[in-house]
């Protein structure tokens, strides 16, 4: 058993940890976990948007985090309000989970800032959480944190644009004509500060009245950032299945890639310790780690750990039965070991659910196993 599992937060309930969390998304996630009785993350490594959205909708009730690789999706729709990211945000709100883009940023600070906030994907707009490989050094976390702060400041108020197209009143069609050349006099727009009307006329010398093609009014106004945001694309008929919890905070969170489950990886103890030090320097942005165990060691540490490489043996086998790797370097452990013995908070499961004959039922089996491991840990 890891010595870090003796840290006080390891035996604290998720609801208690929500009260003490230093990051808004951590607080929200711990509350979600308590409400849904779930500490399961689905790794949705699929290749089409339809597959991704179907999994999010089908497995959503069983999970608290959906992990994506947007660059695996061969038909990702990048539209900011109707695209794949927006649709995922709708499903996240409906089913109660956070979106985690497993980007593993690993470049110089300026580059990762642009990869995070710009480009076609604009990850920061739709993904609540992302992660970083610390190999470039602590500056990469500084840069991402700075980008997240600036993005959040811009979101204090959002510009809403309303566009209406319609047919004007009949009296507005009766144009006045100049007595000398028959040309229609163009109406003067009212100076009301709310926009202008664009009138298109078809003029004929034979005295026929001009006809209006369209009237378009464009107005802009500001709304507080805590109002429903267009990237969520929520409709009135959308049913929120977990009304006991509000939408996720607008803040963004970061996980540091501190340990990996792949055989022979180069993440040494010194590297892992450097990740922990960087997390302590950025508590308002770093939620925790991708790791194989809890990395809380100092009394004030409140970080969460999410752990990949989780798999259950077939249902008819004992859960303690040995589990083979995938032949590609991935090594597996059960929820009982990762949650109960190593002190992890969230287990990440991909192929074990996706490749199952009944993914929905298998997700529930993983959820129950991981939750039971957590309950055993805090009551031991």
Active-site hit among 57, 104, 138, 155? 104
Joined together, the tokens standing for residue 96 give 């109660």
Q: Is 351 annotated as a binding residue?
A: yes
Which residues contact residue 304 at a Cβ distance below 8 angstroms, ignoring those fewer than 6 apart? 26, 29, 30, 287, 288, 289, 345, 346
Judged on CB neighbours under 10 Å (0-12, 13-18, 19+), 153 is exposed
Q: Is 51 annotated as a binding residue?
A: no
Structural Rg of the chain based on CA atoms: 27
Q: Is 247 annotated as a binding residue?
A: no
Active-site hit among 36, 87, 102, 301? 102
Q: Is 261 annotated as a binding residue?
A: yes
Q: Is 330 annotated as a binding residue?
A: yes
Q: Is 67 annotated as a binding residue?
A: yes
Catalytic-residue membership of 238: no
Q: Which of 98, 67, 100, 70 is nearest to 84 (CA)?
A: 70
Strands (E) in 146-281, as ranges, are 157-166, 215-224, 253-257
Catalytic-residue membership of 107: yes
Catalytic-residue membership of 178: no
Torsion of CA 112, 114, 119, 123, to 10 degrees: 60
Active-site hit among 36, 71, 87, 107? 107
Q: Which residues are catalytic?
A: 102, 104, 107
Binding-site sequence positions: 45, 67, 261, 330, 350-351
Binding-site sequence positions for substrate: 45, 67, 261, 330, 350-351
């Amino acid at each position: 058993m890891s010595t870090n599992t003796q840290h006080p937060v390891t035996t604290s309930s998720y609801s208690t940890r929500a009260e003490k969390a230093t990051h808004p998304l951590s607080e929200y996630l711990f509350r979600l976990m308590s409400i849904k009785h779930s500490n399961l993350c689905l790794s949705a490594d699929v290749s089409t948007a339809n597959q991704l959205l179907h999994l999010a909708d089908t497995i959503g009730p069983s999970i608290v985090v959906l992990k994506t690789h947007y660059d695996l999706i061969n038909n990702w729709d990048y539209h900011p309000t109707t695209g794949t990211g927006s649709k995922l945000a709708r499903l996240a709100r409906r089913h109660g989970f956070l979106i985690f883009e497993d980007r593993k940023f690993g470049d110089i600070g300026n580059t990762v800032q642009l990869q995070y906030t710009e480009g076609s994907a604009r990850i920061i707009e739709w993904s609540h959480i992302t992660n970083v490989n610390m190999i470039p050094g602590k500056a990469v976390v500084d840069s991402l944190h700075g980008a997240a702060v600036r993005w959040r400041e811009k979101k204090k108020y959002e510009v809403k644009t309303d566009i209406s197209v319609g047919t004007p009143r009949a009296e507005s069609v009766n144009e006045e004509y100049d007595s000398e050349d028959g040309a229609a006099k163009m109406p003067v727009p009212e100076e009301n500060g709310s926009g202008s009307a664009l009138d298109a006329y078809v003029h004929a010398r034979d005295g026929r009245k001009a006809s209006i093609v369209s009237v378009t009014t464009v107005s802009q106004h500001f709304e507080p950032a805590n109002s429903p945001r267009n990237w969520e694309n929520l409709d009135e008929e959308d049913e929120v299945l977990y009304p006991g919890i509000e939408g996720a905070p607008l803040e963004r969170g970061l996980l540091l890639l501190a340990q990996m489950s792949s055989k022979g990886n180069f993440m040494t103890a010194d590297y892992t310790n450097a990740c922990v030090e960087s997390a302590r320097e950025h508590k308002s942005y770093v939620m925790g780690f991708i790791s194989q165990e809890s990395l809380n060691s100092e009394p004030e540490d409140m970080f969460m750990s999410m752990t990949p490489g989780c798999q259950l043996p077939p249902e008819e086998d004992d859960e303690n039965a040995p589990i083979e790797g995938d032949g590609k370097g991935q090594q597996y452990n059960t929820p009982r070991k990762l949650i109960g013995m190593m002190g992890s908070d969230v287990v990440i499961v991909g192929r074990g659910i996706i490749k199952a004959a009944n993914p929905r039922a298998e997700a529930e089996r993983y959820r129950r196993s991981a939750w039971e491991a957590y309950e055993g840990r805090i009551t031991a």
